[in-house]
Structure formats: C-alpha cells, structure tokens
Amino acid sequence: MSGAPLCATLLVCCPDRKGLVAALAQLLYDHGANLLEAHQHADAADKMFFQRIHFDMDELDIPRDQLEDLLRIECGRYGMRWRISYSDRLKRVAILVSRFEHCLQDLLLRRRLGELACEIPLILSNHPDLQSVAEQNGIPYHVFPITAASKAEQEAREIALLEEHEIDLIVLARYMQVLSQEFTERFPERIINIHHSTLPAFVGARPYHQAHERGVKLIGATAHYATSELDEGPIIAQDVEPASHDDTVDDLVRKGRDVERMVLARAVRWHLEDRIIAHGRRTIIFH
Amino acid sequence: MSGAPLCATLLVCCPDRKGLVAALAQLLYDHGANLLEAHQHADAADKMFFQRIHFDMDELDIPRDQLEDLLRIECGRYGMRWRISYSDRLKRVAILVSRFEHCLQDLLLRRRLGELACEIPLILSNHPDLQSVAEQNGIPYHVFPITAASKAEQEAREIALLEEHEIDLIVLARYMQVLSQEFTERFPERIINIHHSTLPAFVGARPYHQAHERGVKLIGATAHYATSELDEGPIIAQDVEPASHDDTVDDLVRKGRDVERMVLARAVRWHLEDRIIAHGRRTIIFH
Amino acid sequence: MSGAPLCATLLVCCPDRKGLVAALAQLLYDHGANLLEAHQHADAADKMFFQRIHFDMDELDIPRDQLEDLLRIECGRYGMRWRISYSDRLKRVAILVSRFEHCLQDLLLRRRLGELACEIPLILSNHPDLQSVAEQNGIPYHVFPITAASKAEQEAREIALLEEHEIDLIVLARYMQVLSQEFTERFPERIINIHHSTLPAFVGARPYHQAHERGVKLIGATAHYATSELDEGPIIAQDVEPASHDDTVDDLVRKGRDVERMVLARAVRWHLEDRIIAHGRRTIIFH
Amino acid sequence: MSGAPLCATLLVCCPDRKGLVAALAQLLYDHGANLLEAHQHADAADKMFFQRIHFDMDELDIPRDQLEDLLRIECGRYGMRWRISYSDRLKRVAILVSRFEHCLQDLLLRRRLGELACEIPLILSNHPDLQSVAEQNGIPYHVFPITAASKAEQEAREIALLEEHEIDLIVLARYMQVLSQEFTERFPERIINIHHSTLPAFVGARPYHQAHERGVKLIGATAHYATSELDEGPIIAQDVEPASHDDTVDDLVRKGRDVERMVLARAVRWHLEDRIIAHGRRTIIFH
C-alpha cells in the first residue's frame, strides 16, 4: 500500500435541502480535492441527507486543518453532523474478549492480511484465557475480572485505559459481559457488538439449545453498535447459515461461530473505512 | 415422466431401538422392493428414530394392500407412526389465498413445469380477486367471505368442501385469515403456512414498516405446518434476502415476496415428496 | 404510486477529472432540482468517471428540453456519454421467448405487482407455444419462425417491428435463438440475455447433463447485455443455488429455472431504474 | 467429548442390487450395533449403490477385527468397495502450505475448537514463511524448497515423510505447487485441494485480475480431491461471495480468501467425518 495516495473520507448527515451535494463538491473542488467515490442518500421518510465522500488529497492546496475549518463553517451553515478521517492516520481499535477466540483470531488474521486498516494497541478481557493469542500477535493484554461488586470500578479502569490509548473503536468480540450505560454512552457509535440471531429469536440462556429444540432452519448473527439498550443498537450487518435437523447443538454453535466472525469482520471493516452513519435506530452504509 | 417406475415412499417414526433399519429393509426386500433412497435419523436427545424409504415397486410380489397389512403388523411391533404413499396416486392440494397472487402464481407455474407432483382440485379464498388466475388454470375457485360473525360457519363449509374433495394438503398461500383451532386440528401436519421473518422479529401490524424503521439487513420468510399456536408450528423451511438502508418499504415488501414464494414452494415440494416428519415443534426433513 | 413526484435519472460516464461532481450538482441545483440519490464511482485503473443522479423535478424552473440542452452543453465540455430518463415516461420493453415460460411469467407477474416500471407492448417468439400467456396478459404475441434459411429475413422483420414500437429494452427470456451481429449491434446495451452458469462452465449441448456428470455443487445463472460475442457481453447479475449428488438432471434444471428468473428479473429491474452503465466488458451498477 | 460413545462409520459402494441395505443392517444388528445415522443413495444412471452407516459400538458383541472380517466377507459377496473408521482413532492430517496463511490458520483454529476431529502431526511447505504459525500450534514444520530440477526428489522425500507418519489425509491449504502424477496417485481420494472459481472461469495467471477486468459478480472457490488432472478431481464443496464493480482486485482477493477457507474447512470436515464417497469424477456426500 506504500505509494498509495493520501486520501480522506468525509461523512455528513443533516436535514435534507437542495444544494447540499453541490456545496460540498464545490468546496472540495475549489481546493484541489479529487473525488474518488461519493455516495449520497436522502431518506424520504425522515427528510434527512446522508453523504460519504472519499477523496484524494495529493493536490489539495491548503493544509488539512484549514480544510477542516472550511468544512466546519460550511457544515455549520446546513446544520450538518460531520466527521473526516485520513488514510495516514490509522484508527485505533481495542478488542474486548472473554474466553472464545474465534472472533479475535479472525480480526487479527484479517489485520495481518491487510483487510483491516487499523492499529490494535490493546486487548481487554475479563478472563486470562486468551493472553497467549495476544502475545503471539505482540499486543498488550489486560485482564479486568468482573463481579457484580467490582463491575463499576473495573469498567471505570477500562474506560480510563481506553481513553488513555485514544481508542477510536471498541470491538466486543464475544465479550460476555453486559456493558453499563455509562460505558456505552461514553463511546457512542464507537462500540461494535456481535450476537447470535435466529428466526424466531430466543432470549435468555442457551440460545442454541432453544434453537435446536425449536428446529430452526437458519442460524444467524447480527453486528450492531452497542447502546444502553442491550442488543438493540443500530444494526450494521447480518447474515445466516442454513441449519437442519441433523445439526446437533454443537453443530449450531459451530455455524454460529462461522457467521459471527464473518459478520463482525464485515462490520468492523465498514466502520474502519468510514462507510457507516448511524441515525436513530438505523444505519446508512455506503458501498 | 411416462415410463417412470411405480414407486412408494414410507415414512416411519418411533422410539429408537436396535434393529429397526434391518427389520424394515428385510421386510421390503423379502417382497421384491428395490430401495432407491433410504435415510435414517436417530435423535440423540429424544431417543427417537425417523426413517424415509423410497422404493421401486415394479417387482413387488404382493399387492399393495397386503404390503400395507405387513407394514401395519411390523410397525405395530415397534410402536411406529408410519405412512406410505405411491407415485401413481398424486396428492390432492387445496390452495387458500386472499388478495396477493405471487405465491399462488408460483405454485401453479411450478405444477405446470412438473416441479410439484400433485392435483389442485380447488382454490379457496375469502376474496374474489384471484378468480381469473384460477380460471386461467382451469381450477374451481370458491369464495368464502369471512367476518367475525360468519367465521365459524364459513370455516365449517370450507372444511366440508376440503373433506369432500379428499384434500391431502392445504397450502396457505398468503391467506390473510387466522384459522381457528378447530380448523388446524382437523388437518394436523397437512396445512402449510408461509409468513415473513425478520431479525429481530416484529409482531403486530405492518411488519415491513417496522423492519424498515429498525433498519434490518435481512428480510426472511418461514414456511411451517399450521397448528393452533399462530405462527408457532413446526418449521419446514426458512430463507432470507439481504436488505439495505436504500430499500424503501416497498422494496422490503418485494424482497419479502421473493423469499416467501421460494420458501413456500420448497416446503410444498418436500411435503409432496414425503420428505417431512413433524415431531413435536420440529421437523425432520430427508434430502 | 399516484402522487409520486416527477423524477429524472441521469447517467454519465467520461474520463475522470476533478470537478465533475460539482459541475453537475451545481447545474442541477441552479435550476431547482432536488437530488434524491447520487452515486459516483471513479475507476482507478481506467481513470474513468461514472455517475448516477436521481432527482426530483417538481420544482425545476425550466422545461425538460431546456434542461437537456444545458446538460448537452455541460456534458459536452467534459466529453461525457450521458442519458436521462423520466419517471413519467415508462420504458417500453419487448420480451423474446421460445418455449420455456418461467422467465416470461416471472417478468409479467413482477410488472403486475409494480416491481418493474415499464410497458410491454409486445412479445416475440420463434414458437407459438406461449401465445396464451401473452393473451392472458393482454399483450400482442408475434411469431417469427426461424430456420437457417429464413433467419436474416425474419430478424429484419423483428427489428422493424421493434423499432416501429419504439422499444427501449429487449429481454431474451430464454429465447433459444442466437441473435445475429446485425441484431445485437442495432440495440447496444439494450438487449438483456440470461444463461446458465456453472463452475466449471460447460459449453455445447445439454449443459445440465454435463453438470450432473461432473457433480457440480452449484447451479448458477448470469444476466448480461447481449453483444455480438455470444454470452460474452457485460455481466449485469449472477447468482447460484446449491446442488448435490441427490439432484437428478431434472432437479438441476429446476434449480436453474429458479436462479434464472431471479437473476433476469434483477437485471431487468436495474436497467429500468437506470442503475447500469456498461463500460467495455464490464458494468457499473449503482445501488 | 469425553464420555462420548465409541462409534464407527462404514462407507460402502457397489453396483446396485436388491437387498443391500437389509444385508448390512442385519449383519450390524446381529452383533449389537446401534445405528445412529444411515443414508443410502442409489444412482439411477450408473446403477450404483452408495451407503454411509454411522453406528454406536458400545454394545457390539464381537471385537472390531472380527467385525471387519465379517464385513470383508459380506462386502465381498456384493463386490462392495468399503471402508470403516472408528471414533477412537483420529485421522492423521498433513497440511501443505506455501506463503498464504489464511487457510492454514482457519484449519488450526477449527481443530482447536473441536470442529475437526483429527491429529495434525506435520505441516509441509515449499517456503519457510509459516514456520512460526506451526510453532505456535506445536506442530513440526518441514520445508521442502522446490525447483524444476529438485521437484521429483523433493516430492519423493515428502511422500516418504507422509507415509512414515501414516498420514490419512493431505490438505493443500493454498499450496502453490502442482503435485506430480506420482504424488497424487499415491494418495487417491486422500488429497484435498482448494482453488478459486469464477463464472466464467479464468485460466492462467492472475485470475483475480482477469475476473476484475471481466466484471464478474461472483467470486467462488471449489474444494476437490486432487487427481493427476489438475483442478479436475471430484468436486467436494463450492461456494461464492457476491462481488461488484466497487471491488478492487484486492477486494476480490479478500473475498476469495473468505470463500476459500470456508469451503476448504467444509470439505476437510466432511472427509474427516467419512461423509464422502468419490465415484468417477463425482462425489456422493452424506449429510
């Protein structure tokens, strides 16, 4: 990827009105940006405007802080929420795990293969089990055992560590603890969770046992931004695997693992590529 | 299909014990049957035995009523539920519809193309809308308008008509009336329904509007045997289509139609080919 | 759909350079257009620019012929290929069939359901078999029997009929005749064909027999624009269905039909919604 | 899995005739076997019989060598090819790799998770690159650099090593060397390979570049038994991922990796579970 041009990605969201595409395109053009991809979506029901612009900065005629000043002014005129990121500043990702390794391994493999453009400065866990995986990948591993009594205190320490490391994205890679409202609200649209999904959905313990008893023919997974409403945040990605009566509970768990890691990796990649805007309970995802 | 051999399909289900496969295989072999496909499944949790045997009868050395006598005796020894069907006796299917034509058209097309080996002696509806579709296919169309007041009486008339026509399978092809418990219990494992399925599931009115507001990334459908528990009968088939933020409610409805008709056709075909055993809330499906 | 706003869709394609998005967006904004969707794609290898703009014309301050004059001038400046279509002018589609009805029925059903915004003024065939399907849908059906000797003459008559009816799109819905180069070149990017696809691919007669002998585990279909290179035009859509050793040749043919009609309908819908730009041997498809 | 019953899996294949199911089921029943799953398939075209029987041996009344003697006699009567394997004797798998790690990592992860019941006593490679992966998993890693001049000699050394370690299955996990005919014929139906598959197929170098230029909409992979005909052995599993014009060559390669490792893992699992019978250029796979 050396020699790749310096690029930026701009995401904006505001109430819809005429002229928004022209205004931003003109501003960027006036300063030498070369648009590589631009997708705009207007939501008819909400009357909202969403846009992603991915552009080459190599011939930009102003420094990026001045570009951001101009964007701040222009976006301010239209009441836009906006954010911009740059290809030379990798996002910093923390992965939270418990005992299951499949999602963690998958994310680490994909990063090695160049699929996920990010740094992973730390892995956090409530269990020591996956320490050696972190070590093999040269990533510090921090254990925060959690009990009902210690939860608030331990979460505070975790939050401090995450902020100290300037973490942009927190990935719950089968982290088996429910985050407190304080935690999720500290990192809005910056925590991605993965959970199983079946048709019908099963709540409570041992979902795969319930799915087996009910004889479902699909096993699925959903990746979403974590909010204070458990498993109710904006959905980013979903997929399923076929199941049959032949499948034991172990088989369903295996299929669940396959679809979990594929769906989680997809969601993380889209976030790292600034393809997602969360809006209320929904996401807009630009491909 | 002329010149196809005369075949039979035997489905059995009983508490598991040793020797069941040998006993049935021996009985059929002793009388000249040629096994074409035989699948056996033992459920480890339930300790139940399920088997489907598809065999060529051309060299059977006894008439089929005597074969059935022997099966009755043998299956009786093991406490087996069993049923047999023959390739020269097409199942008789009634289709129940309301106003949506997509599932009905799909079933009729597949029957014309030879995908569904059945007769369709009648179509029932609570609305006159699809009369012309029935006529184009040369199938009598009976309208039973249903109100809260008339429901019991109309259902009684429908049941009488279905029994008079010796209907083997009732397909609810987007029939928008809930059948009474009397109705579903009259035709156990003989009514197939199709309904939308999403992750999460939405109950109540306008499911596609709810799915749109929630931003689901998959639109699915489930075909199941209808029981007195609404939408809770044994699941036969499920599938999904990807959805995105770009999809309007109309788009979700369109995707729902596609997956509904594919899934319903699959379930009906499997039933007609005697591939399904319902057991409690689950199905065993032999492929 | 009554009460839907009057909309236009603009597709453009040209060598990439800076300022293209701004130029078009500004032109449309200056005259009161409200952009509903705008997707831009820059091909890094080819240095080509592709864009689709879908906009609301209700508050346009000039008549559409003047808008087209302005577009002609602006697009001329950049060497753009462009075309525009309007939601109040339905595309006119001719369907060509032979003896198989599944794709034809599917397209007609989808049009009735409102999935395909088009008129279908005529169906052409080299066989009389599907006359009644056309009649049931109130569409004139023209039979042009084709022999090696008559092919050139019959194609000339077909072309004359298609041009007389101002046909925008020709759909080969399992039309089992190879079109001559003269025919395909008369309607560039305006003929959509569907054909089977397997891994590996089988050429020559009886592809499903070959696929069965080879034991393929997927049955697929490809929709593409027809060009003078048989089955080699730009690919629009592809999909597959799983297959197994249990599948007879008839089963493979059935699965082929399912995937053919889904894929063909998808390609036709995208064309009708002006989502496709063909570029060389490839397509850009805006979602 | 401790406490799991001792099980055996019997695969048989012979010209079809009546009584085969009964004969084997009776033999097993007579000696106390409890059938857990039994699937039989008769190929109508070939007149061949295929069967997989999975049975519980806990109450078997003879030792397994005597059972094998009886099977040898019985299978001999019918001209059956047969093989049996036991749950207490894990298959021994060698993995051959070059420089790509994704398939290797996936197989090792799945083994750790209990998805693949096997031992992996050695990893062979023509490059040293993946040495550390092997070490992290405690598996000996043998490097056999291959040049045109050294190929025959190096292959002979590899074969000797594989035989010394009593390897049951050789998995080519993106091993970028073509095996000689001597090699493949030494391990018939015991070498599984994975390769990319697209529609249409591209031969020669840089298939993903060709696929990108051609604008394919699906990226697939095929797992098959390796034979002396390159990439032409019996197909075990195939799958695809959707692709679009947005995908760069790197994206296609990434999608290829995803589908490669899923498909390869599936094929290896089915082989380890004795679910596959190769017959000519096809496979029968019992689920």
pLDDT value, residue A1: 41
* Backbone phi and psi for residue C101, each to the nearest 5 degrees, phi listed first: -100, -10
pLDDT at D2 over 60: no
Distances (CA, A) of D81 to D48, D54, D74, D75: 11, 17, 11, 7
Q: Hey, what amino acid is at D59?
A: E
Query: Is there a contact between D248 and C213 if contact means CB atoms under 8 Å apart?
Result: no
pLDDT value, residue D200: 78
Q: Nearest C-alpha of chain C: how many angstroms from A266?
A: 18
Is-contact D264 D223, C-beta < 8 A? yes
Q: Is B204 exposed, middle or buried (0-12, 13-18, 19+ CB in 10 A)?
A: exposed
Taking the C-alpha atoms of residue A98 and residue A104, their distance in angstroms, rounded to an integer, is 10
D106, D131, D248, D275: best mutation site toward chain A, by most A Cβ within 10 Å? D106
- Which residue of the set C16, C231, C251, C258 is catalytic? C231
Q: Using one digit for the tens of pLDDT, what is the confidence trace for A230-287? A: 678 999 999 999 999 999 999 999 999 999 999 999 999 999 999 999 999 999 999 9
Q: Which two tokens stand for residue A10?
A: 């701009």
Mean pLDDT (chain D, rounded): 94
User: What chain D residue is nearest to B32 in terms of C-alpha separation?
Assistant: D18
Collect all residues of chain B within an 8 Å Cβ-Cβ radius of residue D19: 29
Q: Nearest C-alpha of chain C: how many angstroms from B157?
A: 31
Q: Compute the Cα dihedral for D217, D223, D225, D227 and give only its sign.
A: positive
- Assess C109–B contact: CB distance below 8 Å, yes or no: yes
pLDDT at C152 over 70: yes
Stretch B236-264: mean pLDDT, rounded?
96
pLDDT at B105 over 90: yes
* Residue located via tokens 């035709």: B187
pLDDT value, residue B150: 95
Domains of chain A and any CATH numbers: 7-86 (3.30.70.260), 91-285 (3.40.50.170)
Query: Is there a contact between A105 and D109 if contact means CB atoms under 8 Å apart?
Result: yes
Which residues, at least 6 apart from B247, have a Cβ–Cβ distance to it below 8 Å?
Answer: B212, B255
Structure confidence at residue D3 as a pLDDT band (50, 70, 90): low
Side-chain half-sphere exposure of C48, counting CA atoms within 13 A: 19
User: What chain B residue is nearest to D33 in terms of C-alpha separation?
Assistant: B18
pLDDT value, residue D202: 77
D neighbours by CB contacts (3+ pairs under 8 Å)? A, B, C
pLDDT value, residue D115: 97
Distances (CA, A) of D269 to A153, B167, D194, D262, D263: 45, 44, 14, 11, 10
In Å, the largest CA–CA distance within chain C is 64
Taking the C-alpha atoms of residue C286 and residue B179, their distance in angstroms, rounded to an integer, is 44
In percent, the amount of chain A with pLDDT more than 90 equals 91
A122-126, C226-230, D182-186: range with lowest mean pLDDT: C226-230
**CB-nearest partner of C199 from D197, D234, D284:** D197
Q: Which two tokens stand for residue A201?
A: 């959905």
Mean pLDDT (chain C, rounded): 94
**CB-nearest partner of C238 from D218, D235, D282:** D218
**HEC-encoded secondary structure of chain A:** CCCCCCEEEEEEEEECCCCHHHHHHHHHHHCCCEEEEEEEEEECCCCEEEEEEEEECCCCCCCHHHHHHHHHHHHHHHCCEEEEEECCCCEEEEEEECCCCHHHHHHHHHHHCCCCCEEEEEEEECCCCCHHHHHHCCCCEEECCCCCCCHHHHHHHHHHHHHHCCCCEEEECCCCCCCCHHHHHHCCCCEEEEEEEECCCCCCCCHHHHHHHHCCCEEEEEEEECCCCCCCCCEEEEEEEECCCCCCHHHHHHHHHHHHHHHHHHHHHHHHCCCEEEECCEEEECC
pLDDT value, residue C2: 47
- Assess C239–B contact: CB distance below 8 Å, yes or no: no
Stretch C102-116: mean pLDDT, rounded?
97
pLDDT value, residue C228: 83
Q: Which of A156, A98, A163, A150 is nearest to A124 (CA)?
A: A98
Collect all residues of chain B within an 8 Å Cβ-Cβ radius of residue C287: 244, 246
Cα Rg, chain B, nearest whole Å: 21
Q: How many CB atoms lie within 10 A of CB B61?
A: 10
Q: Nearest C-alpha of chain C: how many angstroms from B185?
A: 34
**CB-nearest partner of A214 from B236, B237, B282:** B282
Query: Is there a contact between C285 and D245 if contact means CB atoms under 8 Å apart?
Result: yes
Length of chain B equals 287
A neighbours by CB contacts (3+ pairs under 8 Å)? B, C, D
Q: Nearest C-alpha of chain A: how many angstroms from D15?
A: 28
Structure confidence at residue A3 as a pLDDT band (50, 70, 90): low
Q: Using one digit for the tens of pLDDT, what is the confidence trace for B205-219? A: 888 999 999 999 999
Query: Is there a contact between D21 and B19 if contact means CB atoms under 8 Å apart?
Result: no
pLDDT value, residue B2: 47
pLDDT at D218 over 80: yes
Q: Using one digit for the tens of pLDDT, what is the confidence trace for C73-95? A: 999 999 999 999 999 999 999 99
Collect all residues of chain A within an 8 Å Cβ-Cβ radius of residue D4: none
- Which residue of the set D16, D43, D231, D258 is catalytic? D231
Q: Using one digit for the tens of pLDDT, what is the confidence trace for D32-60? A: 999 999 999 998 888 999 999 999 999 99
Q: Using one digit for the tens of pLDDT, what is the confidence trace for A57-85? A: 999 999 999 999 999 999 999 999 999 99
Size of interface C-D (CB pairs under 8 A): 81
Q: Using one digit for the tens of pLDDT, what is the confidence trace for A26-59? A: 999 999 999 999 999 998 888 999 999 999 999 9
Collect all residues of chain C within an 8 Å Cβ-Cβ radius of residue B244: 287
Collect all residues of chain A within an 8 Å Cβ-Cβ radius of residue B248: 44
Question: The complex's ipTM?
Answer: 0.94
pLDDT value, residue A2: 47
Q: Is C56 a catalytic residue?
A: no
Size of interface B-C (CB pairs under 8 A): 30
- Assess D136–A contact: CB distance below 8 Å, yes or no: yes
Q: Nearest C-alpha of chain D: how many angstroms from A42?
A: 21
Q: Which two tokens stand for residue A147?
A: 């009990």
Is-contact B93 B100, C-beta < 8 A? no
Alpha helices in chain D (DSSP H): 20-30, 64-77, 102-112, 131-136, 151-164, 181-186, 207-214, 249-272
pLDDT value, residue C3: 65
Collect all residues of chain C within an 8 Å Cβ-Cβ radius of residue D222: 199, 217
pLDDT value, residue A89: 96
Query: Is there a contact between A22 and C20 if contact means CB atoms under 8 Å apart?
Result: no
Q: Using one digit for the tens of pLDDT, what is the confidence trace for C223-270? A: 999 998 867 899 999 999 999 999 999 999 999 999 999 999 999 999
Q: Using one digit for the tens of pLDDT, what is the confidence trace for D104-119? A: 999 999 999 999 999 9
pLDDT at C157 over 90: yes
Taking the C-alpha atoms of residue C265 and residue D215, their distance in angstroms, rounded to an integer, is 19
pLDDT at A206 over 70: yes
**CB-nearest partner of D115 from A113, A136, A254:** A254
Looking at chain B from residue 10 to 49, which residues have their Cβ under 8 Å from any Cβ of chain D? Answer: 18-22, 25-26, 28-29, 32-42, 44
Q: Which two tokens stand for residue B22?
A: 């040998």
Query: Is there a contact between D22 and B22 if contact means CB atoms under 8 Å apart?
Result: yes
Q: Can the peptide bond before residue A200 be classed as cis, meaning omega within 30 degrees of 0?
A: yes
D14, D40, D60, D241: best mutation site toward chain B, by most B Cβ within 10 Å? D40
**CB-nearest partner of D41 from B20, B37, B40:** B37
Q: What is the pTM of this model?
A: 0.96
Taking the C-alpha atoms of residue C256 and residue C100, their distance in angstroms, rounded to an integer, is 12
Distances (CA, A) of B104 to B139, B251, B264: 12, 20, 10
Size of interface A-D (CB pairs under 8 A): 30
pLDDT at A87 over 90: yes
Distances (CA, A) of C170 to C120, C131, C179, C267: 10, 18, 12, 12
Looking at chain D from residue 194 to 233, which residues have their Cβ under 8 Å from any Cβ of chain C? Answer: 197-201, 213-218, 220, 222
pLDDT at C4 over 90: no
Query: Is there a contact between A36 and C44 if contact means CB atoms under 8 Å apart?
Result: yes
pLDDT at D284 over 60: yes
Q: Is D280 exposed, middle or buried (0-12, 13-18, 19+ CB in 10 A)?
A: exposed
Structure confidence at residue D199 as a pLDDT band (50, 70, 90): confident
Q: Which residues of A are catalytic?
A: 231
In percent, the amount of chain C with pLDDT more than 70 equals 98
Query: Is there a contact between D216 and C199 if contact means CB atoms under 8 Å apart?
Result: no
Which residues, at least 6 apart from D208, have a Cβ–Cβ distance to it below 8 Å?
Answer: D196, D219, D249, D252, D253, D256
pLDDT at B1 over 60: no
Q: Which two tokens stand for residue A243?
A: 């199941």
B35, B57, B284: best mutation site toward chain D, by most D Cβ within 10 Å? B35
**CB-nearest partner of B29 from D18, D29, D59:** D18
- Which residue of the set B16, B129, B231, B239 is catalytic? B231
Structure confidence at residue C205 as a pLDDT band (50, 70, 90): confident
Q: Using one digit for the tens of pLDDT, what is the confidence trace for D121-138? A: 999 999 999 999 999 999
Is-contact D210 D262, C-beta < 8 A? no
In percent, the amount of chain B with pLDDT more than 70 equals 98
Collect all residues of chain B within an 8 Å Cβ-Cβ radius of residue A236: 217
C21, C30, C49, C285: best mutation site toward chain A, by most A Cβ within 10 Å? C21
Q: Nearest C-alpha of chain B: how many angstroms from C244?
A: 10
pLDDT value, residue B3: 65
* Backbone phi and psi for residue C43, each to the nearest 5 degrees, phi listed first: -85, 115
Q: Using one digit for the tens of pLDDT, what is the confidence trace for D231-267? A: 789 999 999 999 999 999 999 999 999 999 999 999 9
Query: Is there a contact between C114 and B287 if contact means CB atoms under 8 Å apart?
Result: no
pLDDT at C15 over 80: yes
Structure confidence at residue D77 as a pLDDT band (50, 70, 90): very high
**CB-nearest partner of B29 from D19, D36, D41:** D19
Query: Is there a contact between A34 and C22 if contact means CB atoms under 8 Å apart?
Result: no
Collect all residues of chain D within an 8 Å Cβ-Cβ radius of residue B40: 35, 37-39
User: What chain B residue is nearest to D30 in terms of C-alpha separation?
Assistant: B19
